[in-house]
Each structure stands twice: as structure tokens, then as C-alpha cells.
Amino acid sequence: AQTVTQSQPEMSVQEAETVTLSCTYDTSESDYYLFWYKQPPSRQMILVIRQEAYKQQNATENRFSVNFQKAAKSFSLKISDSQLGDAAMYFCAYRGSNYKLTFGKGTLLTVNP
């Protein structure tokens, strides 16, 4: 079974600085997708960014980018120019051949003004 591990329960960053959230996963599959979701206090899970395993180029969405290391099974999220609105719980998720989304336990990000 696939597992997703987020080793940082909490992280903090100063406004306008850069922060990186870590995620590792375990799988024997070659075709899969990886996702980062953001869950603010309102509880709604919002898709931040996604990465296809077959693509070598790292995905980027505005201030959000990933560092996808397939051999190392690592999928970190970098947030540049952090804003107060980025404060939330961030979940890394994996989707493989069984089509299920498997989530990590999350990283709580605090942004300090």
C-alpha cells in the first residue's frame, strides 16, 4: 500500500520569505500523480499544485513550486514571497493505479508578519 509521510508537523515563516514543506512517499508504481492541498481554518481543501510522475519538469503555479525527485520519492513544496493568507494546513497526497487519494498527516504553516 502506498504511504505518504510529512515529517514536519509545524513550520513557520516570516512574511515575504521562502519556506519549503517536505513530503516523501512509498510506491512501487511508475505512473502516478502527486498533489499539494491547502486547508485553511475554513476547512475547505484547496488544490495548490499537482505533478505527474512521468514529467521531469517541476510544476509551478505562481509563488508555489515543487521539487520532485522521483528516485528519492520526494515531493517538496516551495512557497516564495510568503503571504499571511498562505497560513494553513498543507497536505501532500498521492494518487496511483487504484485511483485513491492517500494523504499525509499534514504540516501546519504559520506566517509571521
Partner 1 sequence: EAGVAQSPRYKIIEKRQSVAFWCNPISGHATLYWYQQILGQGPKLLIQFQNNGVVDDSQLPKDRFSAERLKGVDSTLKIQPAKLEDSAVYLCASSLGGLSVADTQYFGPGTRLTVL
Nearest residue to 72 via CA among 35, 31, 24: 24
Q: Is 105 in the site for partner 1 (CB under 8 A)?
A: yes
Torsion angles phi and psi, residue 85, rounded to 5: -70, -5
Among 10, 18, 101, 112, binds partner 1 (CB under 8 A): 101
Q: Is 11 in the site for partner 1 (CB under 8 A)?
A: no
* Segment interacting with partner 1 (CB under 8 A) among 10-18, 65-73, 77-85, 102-110: 102-110
- Which residues contact residue 91 at a Cβ distance below 8 angstroms, ignoring those fewer than 6 apart? 6, 36, 37, 38, 39, 45, 103, 104, 106
CB of 43 to partner 1, least distance (A): 4
Binders of partner 1: how many residues, by CB under 8 A? 27
Q: Determine the longest span between alpha carbons in the chain, in angstroms.
A: 42
- The torsion of the CA quartet 3, 70, 38, 19, rounded to 10 degrees, works out to 120
* Segment interacting with partner 1 (CB under 8 A) among 20-28, 29-37, 56-64, 77-85: 29-37
Q: Is 21 in the site for partner 1 (CB under 8 A)?
A: no
Q: Report d(CA 45, CA 106) in Å as an integer.
A: 12
Applying CB under 8 A, the residues found at the interface with partner 1 are 4, 31-33, 35, 37, 42-47, 50, 52, 91, 93, 95-101, 103-106
